[in-house]
Amino acid sequence: MEDIFVVKRCNKIIIHGRRAGDSQHDRPEATSWYRINDTRTGGFIGDGYDHEEDARHECKRLNAVSSTTVARESSG
């Protein structure tokens, strides 16, 4: 059975401000964050995760719960 919830990597750009009197901006940082995508609806679950392993762990949990629910519904 295909997973319902999958991890999606998203780009995040951190732009550093500048204080009065500073002549140069720090360079923007390119980094990533992770969201859980519901493949049935195309929507996202939760607020997102800074670490991919945290998002993957939550996806496993959600997929395990949903596969148990689907099995109960089809046998009942």
3-state DSSP helix/strand/coil percent for the chain, to nearest 5?
Answer: 30, 35, 35
Residues 51-63 have pLDDT tens digits of 999 999 999 999 9
| Residue 19 maps to a domain | no
Supply the pLDDT for residue 9: 96
| Residue 70 maps to a domain | yes
Residues 28-52 have pLDDT tens digits of 788 899 999 999 999 999 889 999 9
pTM confidence score: 0.70
Q: In what order do the strands lie in the sheet with 44-49?
A: 5-14, 29-38, 44-49
| Residue 48 maps to a domain | yes
How many domains, in total, are found in the chain? Answer: 1
| Residue 37 maps to a domain | yes
Read off the amino acid at residue 64. Answer: A
Domain that holds residue 69: 5-14+28-75
CA distances to 13, 42, 51, 60 from 32, in Å:
8, 20, 9, 20
| Whole-number Å distance between alpha carbons of 7 and 59 | 7
CATH of residue 38's domain is: 3.30.160
